Chains A and B, each alone.
Chain A
Amino acid sequence: MRGTKGPMRQTGTRLRSARAFAVLGFLAIAATGTALVVQQPWTWCPSDWSDAARVHLGASGGYVVLDGREFQVGGNALLDYMPRIVTSPLDQARAGRHPLGITASISASSRDALGEPAFTCFRVTRGSEVWARRPTTYGTQTRADGYPPGAPSPIPNNAWRLASVNDGPEWPDGDRIELELWATVSGRHYVFALPPFALMRGG
């Protein structure tokens, strides 16, 4: 009997160790998953943008010349007052919320002139409060995209990219805010600073 107890004990110990590792592994995955869901690192702005050139826009949008190349850049922030159809308690909860949404665009005279710009951060300030998120930059669109197949391309065939982020803070309308748009254009970093404006309802 002694001869069989030894291997059985070893097997039991191995099983316990395996269980412990499995539990630890599960906890590690759960902790990582929770951290990812809560922190959402893919929405973080770049940690260092200090090498960016700062471009002061005279209005919510306008012409900019970036290293000698011409673009138009614009941005806006609105509180989400979009009417919603309420069919469930979840919809009811959402309908009562009016989070800040930010959109921006960059355009140029052609797809080639536009290149592959990307907005990397929208940073909005209200007094001492700052809210910053990495927006989604959508693919390039051109004026010709809306033309029927075979139709001659418009001249100039302007090209643009849009970017947006939603679910911002629920600040009161009428409050004065400042908006910065961080972007990479032709491989270089820029901060487009819009003049302060009053927060309005949109929808």
Chain B
Amino acid sequence: MRRVLALILMFASAAGCSIAPAPQVLHPEYRYVASYPRGPFTPGATVHVVWTPELVRTGSAEPYDVRLCISVFGSFESPGALKESGSRSGGTRPDCPATGSVVSSGVLRTRSDTGNSLSADLVLPRANGFYDVRQIAINGVEPTYSAMSAGGVIEIRGP
């Protein structure tokens, strides 16, 4: 009887060990927000763009690859014409490098858990006018990923 009890206890303790939860590994998740000088912008000038990491959360989800780029679309006669064009072309998926842009930064690659700043120099177009500056982020890799873009308007005006 004692042997049976000892065996039961051994099995119970072994089972207890086997279902012990594995330690959860937590990863920081950053998003990278582009910023550049406010201007004035002159034709052909070089603009220094910096992507600053912002902590989104810390969790157990696996880190993922991030591609970043900034692209300039235009030119437009006025901010109104730019917005109208944007609403017409709405519904196109952002991509890095962006198709249809007049100038674009290279594609910067990082990870969601890296948390380091990135930077690139963007040479502005040579024609005067208003431009749509879009920062694009691709989270994940082919064939499954998400893509988002955020835009701003700049005016390039020569002396």
Residues of A near any B CB (own CB < 8 A): 53-59, 62-68, 70, 109, 156, 158, 178, 190, 192-193, 195-196
Known A55-B146, A56-B61, A58-B148; further 8 A-B contacts with Cβ < 8 A = A54-B62, A54-B64, A58-B31, A58-B146, A63-B146, A67-B144, A195-B56, A196-B56
Residues of A within 8 A of B29 (CB): 56
Smallest CB gap from A56: residue in B? B139
Closest to B93 in A: A63
Task: Tell which of A57, A67, A109, A156 touches B146, judged by Cβ atoms closer than 8 Å.
Answer: A57
Which one of A62, A67, A178, A190 lies within 8 Å of B148 (CB-CB)? A62
Determine how close the nearest CB of chain B comes to the CB of A120; give it in whole angstroms.
Answer: 17
By a CB distance below 8 angstroms, the chain A residues around B139 are 55-58
Which residues from chain A contact B56 at a C-beta distance below 8 Å? Answer: 195-196
- Nearest opposing residue in chain B for A195, CB measure: B56
A65 to B147, CA, bound (A): 8
In order of increasing CB-CB distance, the 9 nearest A-B pairs are A58-B148, A68-B143, A62-B148, A56-B139, A63-B93, A63-B147, A64-B146, A67-B143, A53-B144
B11 at the interface (CB under 8 A from A): no
Contacts of B31 in A (CB 8 A): 58, 195
Contacts of A54 in B (CB 8 A): 61-62, 64
Asked if B144 and A70 make an inter-chain contact with CB atoms under 8 angstroms apart, the answer reads no
Q: How many A-B residue contacts, CB cutoff 8 Å?
A: 64
Chain B 117-151 per-residue mask, 1 if CB under 8 angstroms from chain A, else 0: 00000000000000000000101101111111000
Who on chain A is nearest to B62 by CB? A54
Q: Tell me which residues across on chain B come within 8 A of A70, comparing CB atoms.
A: 93
Please tell me if the beta carbons of B143 and A62 are within 8 angstroms of each other in the complex.
no
Chain B residue with the shortest CB-CB distance to A107 = B91
Asked if B148 contacts A55 (CB within 8 A), the reply is no
Is the beta-carbon distance between B61 and A193 smaller than 8 angstroms? yes
Contact with A along B11-49 (1 / 0, CB 8 A): 000000000000000000101000000000000000000
Contact, CB under 8 Å: B148 / A65? no
Out of B61, B62, B146, name the residue touching A62 (CB < 8 Å): B146
B29, B93, B139, B144, most chain A CB atoms within 10 A: B144
